[in-house]
Every structure is written in structure tokens, then in C-alpha cells.
């Protein structure tokens, strides 16, 4: 039973319980609560799940950014001589910057595409065993792709800046 009131709802619990008992003695009144209390009780597990999943997602995104930056930093350090030669023959530092960022974007697109294929396959497999499984809509997937691409570009910027700031003489002396 719901009661709409403009006053304190907790003050009405006793009178309403007495009225119900007068109308039907055998009708139990087990628990009285406001709609806000019931809503908070129902949404608490979902909020906890959201918080936990957001924490795991943040850790995974950090690992992805560090991984991309690490792979590109290793690639840049192995290609210092190549970048030095490019700069010596007239390549612009901006071009080297864009080249390294493009390599990071290629890695991210490959990862997103592979992850989407694997995720789609696993969702199909899980749907066989869990018929009530809900697939995510396209909005969170698109937001994830955009976030991963932005993280990749940010992770690519550090090694790309290093490649763009190379000293030609120093780069040509490296073995």
C-alpha cells in the first residue's frame, strides 16, 4: 500500500498500521518504509557493481595507455637512427610525430577490432547458456571505442614527442 503525504511519512506509520489492523485483524503489517528508502535499498547493489566495474575499467584503461606508450617507446628507441636519417634528409619533426601517433592508432584499431570480434563470439556463446543475457546497446560500445582511441592518442604522444625532438647529430651517432 502506498500513501502520499506532504508531512513526515514516519509520523504516519503508527496511525496507518492501527487503521489497517482495525479493518483486517489478520492482515500483517511487516515493514513500513518510504519510497526513497525502498529505492535506495533496491539500487544499492547496482551502485556497488557500477563502482567496482568502473574501478576495474579505470585500471584496464591505465594498463592500456601504459602498454601503448611502452610499445611505442621501445619502437622509437629502436628506430632512432632511422628518424635521424629522416630528419637529416629534410623530414619535418611534425611528420615523425604523426608517424608514431599513426602507429599507435593502428595498434588501437587492431585491438578494438579484435576485441569486438572476440566479444561478439563470446556473447553468442554465453547466450546459449544464459538465455536472459542482455547485450549492451551501441552507445556504451561507441563510448568505449572513443575512450580507447583517445587514450591511445594520449599514450602515443610521449614517444612521438621524443621522436620529434631528436637531435640529428646525436641520432646519427647511435648504433
- Give how far Cα 164 sits from Cα of 69, 84, 131, Å: 15, 10, 53
Tell whether 29 is covered by a domain: no
Q: pLDDT for 106-164, tens place per residue? A: 988 998 899 889 988 998 888 888 887 777 788 888 888 898 889 888 888 888 898 88
Count CB neighbours of 43 within 10 A: 11
Q: Write the DSSP string, 81-113.
A: HHHHHHHHTT--HHHHHHHHHHHHHHHHHHHHH
Of 6, 36, 32, the C-alpha closest to 19 is 32
Q: Looking at the 3D structure of the chain, how many domains does it have?
A: 1
**Domain carrying residue 91:** 47-173
Least confident of 18-22, 46-50, 54-58: 46-50
Average of per-residue pLDDT across 37-61: 81
Give a yes or no: residue 112 inside a domain: yes
Residue 15 lies in a domain: no
Residue 104 lies in a domain: yes
Decide if 27 is inside a domain: no
Is the pTM above the cut of 0.75? Answer: no
Is 19 inside any structural domain? no
**pLDDT tens digits, 62-87:** 898 888 888 888 988 888 888 888 88
For residues 86 and 172, is the Cβ–Cβ distance under 8 A?
Answer: no
Would residue 9 count as lying in a domain?
A: no
- The distance of Cα 19 from the centroid of its chain, to the nearest Å, equals 52
Residue 33 lies in a domain: no
Amino acid at each position: 500500500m502506498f500513501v502520499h503525504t506532504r508531512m513526515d511519512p514516519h509520523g504516519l506509520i503508527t496511525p496507518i498500521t492501527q487503521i489497517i489492523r482495525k479493518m483486517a485483524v489478520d492482515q500483517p503489517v511487516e515493514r513500513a518504509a518510504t519510497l526513497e528508502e525502498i529505492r535506495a535499498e533496491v539500487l544499492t547493489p547496482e551502485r556497488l557493481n557500477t563502482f567496482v566495474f568502473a574501478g576495474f575499467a579505470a585500471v584496464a584503461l591505465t594498463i592500456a595507455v601504459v602498454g601503448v606508450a611502452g610499445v611505442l617507446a621501445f619502437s622509437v628507441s629502436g628506430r632512432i637512427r632511422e628518424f635521424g636519417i629522416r630528419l637529416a634528409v629534410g623530414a619535418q619533426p611534425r611528420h615523425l610525430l604523426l608517424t608514431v601517433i599513426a602507429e599507435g592508432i593502428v595498434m588501437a584499431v587492431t585491438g578494438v577490432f579484435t576485441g569486438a570480434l572476440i566479444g561478439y563470439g563470446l556473447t553468442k556463446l554465453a547466450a546459449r547458456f544464459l538465455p536472459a543475457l542482455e547485450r549492451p546497446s551501441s552507445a556504451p560500445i561507441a563510448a568505449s571505442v572513443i575512450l580507447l582511441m583517445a587514450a591511445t592518442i594520449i599514450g602515443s604522444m610521449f614517444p612521438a614527442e621524443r621522436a620529434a625532438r631528436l637531435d640529428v647529430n646525436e641520432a646519427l651517432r647511435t648504433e
